[in-house]
Structure 1
């Protein structure tokens, strides 16, 4: 099977469950941002594995699987939006949100309480996690935008919101484990 189909050469793409939309459609933008987040996490995982953080990397591999599910659901218009049921795409399990919350709590227990806003950066894994957090926030904004025009499950938005919290917490944790202190934001004087 060839990787190119030529079906998108005129600026349209096919959705799961049928139908075609322009490639700049809000739905394509939403699942495209989730795909970018997933790719960013692939890079984060490489940094974590290189730093000996196999457990954190394995947890983020599960998050990548969740994001694939989330993206597939976003690429499938709901029946009330003119789509068809797709038995091959499972819904995002709400228990995964609870798993992220437990992970945040466990990671936060290793950290000093925040006393100020912090600047993104630090060790390579920490900096990559901060970058992933910002990509996650952008994906969340695009999914919220889609929810104004089409049916989007509440769990998809909740998952991305919680995931950005996790990525922030893991960035701080990765930096702490490598002896890099948070850099406090000091506002410029007026």
Structure 2
């Protein structure tokens, strides 16, 4: 049987390769962290699929790209830097100005896109809880851990932004 690009059989015995070529168990903590970021990225993609606001869709697409870079960085691909945390902080600041929101506990589910973002946020928080173990043992640099920590903040802000815009549009349409 010919080897395909999807099925390599390299993991059939419970190991996978990091970006630097090192073989590690599939349940290695580093693999768990970037695998959880992968799961989070999929939820952000689902939110983008439901999204009906062009500016927010573009931001979600950008975030998915940054998460891909982050996963490569965490998987130790040579020369792949951690994405810039100030970009995430800028989005949080922008959303705060648009919505006037401050942190509050909310009930997810005002929209499909917003709900998908809240699922992504909880997955990002799980990635953070896993990543702190690598950070404590000095296997993860501070900038990488801080970026993962900020990821749930930006996803939370994006969910607030989407639901805010959706409410504004609904109110505008109800007056016509």
Same fold (TM over 0.5): yes
Segments of 5+ residues of structure 1 without an aligned counterpart are: 77-84, 181-190
**Structure 1 segments (4+ residues) deviating >3 Å:** 112-116
The structure richer in helix per residue is 2
Distance 1:13 1:45, change over 3 A: same
Q: Distance in 2 between matches of 1:27 and 1:54?
A: 34
Distance 1:114 1:102, change over 3 A: closer
RMSD: 2.0
Segments of 5+ residues of structure 2 without an aligned counterpart are: 169-176
Aligned residue in 1 for 2:161: 173
Give the alignment partner of residue 30 of structure 2, picking from 27, 32, 51: 27
Distance 1:150 1:4, change over 3 A: farther
Give the alignment partner of residue 11 of structure 1, picking from 3, 6, 14: 14
Number of equivalences = 165
- Residue 21 of structure 1 aligns to a residue whose secondary structure is strand
Q: Distance in 2 between matches of 1:177 and 1:139?
A: 28
Aligned residue in 2 for 1:188: none
Aligned residue in 1 for 2:59: 59
Q: Distance in 2 between matches of 1:130 and 1:28?
A: 23
What are the within-5 Å matches in structure 2 for residues 110-121 of structure 1?
110-114=98-102, 116-121=104-109
